Structure 1
Amino acid sequence: MGKISQIEYEVYKEFHSKYEDDKKKLEEDKLNKEKNLIRRKVEMAIEEEVNLRVDKEIQDKYYESLDDFDSYKKEYRKKIHELDKKIQVCKSTIQFNEVE
């Protein structure tokens, strides 16, 4: 029982080789899964960063438009105030002319 036969050795060698190949394939699969997971995380982080930048640009444009609207309102109010003054002058002139 001390020695193994040539056939037993060949069978052992074949199974051991298959075991080593399977072990190597499992390790490669595990590494590929980890790489894919890391790749997905990076892609998600990039997508999130892009979304944040787009959101910031949209927000900046929104606030810009609000500023434009505020300046438009100020101009509009200023013109209304000037027109009110002219109307008062006209009313005063009409009243003055009616008195005479």
Structure 2
Amino acid sequence: MWINKFFFLLPIVCMAVFSTAQMVPSQPPPPRDPSDCLSSLETVPDCIPEIFRSIISGQIGSIGHSCCHAFLGISTECASHVFVFAPFFPPTLRDHCSRQH
């Protein structure tokens, strides 16, 4: 009796598994190394500490012009991977920095 149920449910379970696996959107691969993304920020003295102080304090206005320029140089994908702990920060900082120009 249970064998009949097993053979009846097995194709249904397989179809469900394979159909949901195909519906998952493909995501771009993460950057090879987060430090590659931050290389432009590292060239500006105190830029990375300015950014992290801004995240902690919640005040983006303290980030200087040269740091903003360097931040605008990194890709959106890179910023989202580096600042995964603060997902709303990169778009907010990008907006702030683009208005500074």
Query: TM-score with structure 2 length normalisation?
Result: 0.26
| Greater gyration radius | 1
Greater helix content = 1
Larger relative contact order, structure 1 or 2 (CA cutoff 8 Å, min sep 6): 2
What's the TM-score, normalizing by structure 1?
0.27
